[in-house]
């Protein structure tokens, strides 16, 4: 069994009014602390797996790192994702210390207030066809096929190769 799901008894309700108890696959979520340069940056809740990649992506999107050259080390231990930077950049501070799947609401509030970061410095584009094939690829991912409606992402190279 995938460590990101567990079997749970649920009640399935049908349109004819009947109710049946069944075992179903449920997504597991865990709480972790993001620690950057010895400081507790945030408490996050997400599905287990690829925590280090999530942390690096979070720091990159917040302009706290520009590349892997800015990273001295990254590891997970005792419920924490610990990142030590070789080069410290101020970047964007979090509006909240507790992050979960609804945290996009904070970004919407900033957008409504007219506060927006500059676009990330990207010098390439991905074709529409690559994006559509990425959607198909995500739909075939084991966790998505098991539980469905999972927040997922695909990592695609500038030339359209599906990486992760």
DSSP state of 140: T
CB-based burial label for 125 (10 Å; 0-12, 13-18, 19+): exposed
**pLDDT number for residue 12:** 86
**pLDDT number for residue 49:** 80
Mention every residue, 6+ apart, whose C-beta is less than 8 A from residue 85: 36, 37, 64, 65, 70, 71, 72
Where are the domain boundaries for CATH 3.10.20.10 in the chain? Answer: 5-118
What does pTM read for this prediction? 0.59
Q: pLDDT tens-digit profile of 9-27?
A: 888 888 888 999 999 888 7
Q: Are 98 and 42 in contact (CB under 8 A)?
A: yes
**pLDDT number for residue 99:** 55
Distance CA 98, CA 93 (A): 13
Distance CA 28, CA 98 (A): 18
Task: Write the CATH number of the domain with boundaries 5-118.
Answer: 3.10.20.10
Please list the ranges in the chain whose pLDDT falls under 50: 102-109
Question: What percent of the chain clears pLDDT 70, i.e. is strictly above it?
Answer: 74
**pLDDT number for residue 63:** 87
């Amino acid at each position: 069994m995938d460590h990101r799901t567990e079997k749970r008894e649920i009640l399935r309700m049908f349109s004819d009014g009947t109710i049946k108890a069944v075992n179903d696959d449920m997504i597991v979520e865990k709480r972790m602390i993001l620690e950057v340069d010895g400081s507790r940056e945030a408490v996050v809740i997400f599905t287990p797996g690829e925590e280090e990649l999530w942390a690096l992506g979070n720091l990159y999107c917040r302009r706290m790192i520009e590349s892997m050259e800015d990273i001295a080390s990254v590891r997970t231990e005792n419920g924490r994702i610990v990142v030590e930077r070789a080069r410290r950049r101020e970047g964007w501070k979090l509006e909240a210390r507790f992050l979960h799947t609804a945290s996009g609401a904070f970004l919407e509030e900033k957008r409504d207030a007219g506060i927006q970061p500059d676009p990330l410095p990207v010098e390439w584009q991905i074709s529409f066809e690559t994006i559509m094939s990425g959607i198909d690829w995500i739909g075939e991912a084991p966790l998505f096929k098991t539980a469905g409606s999972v927040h997922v992402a695909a990592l695609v190279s500038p030339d359209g190769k599906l990486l992760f």
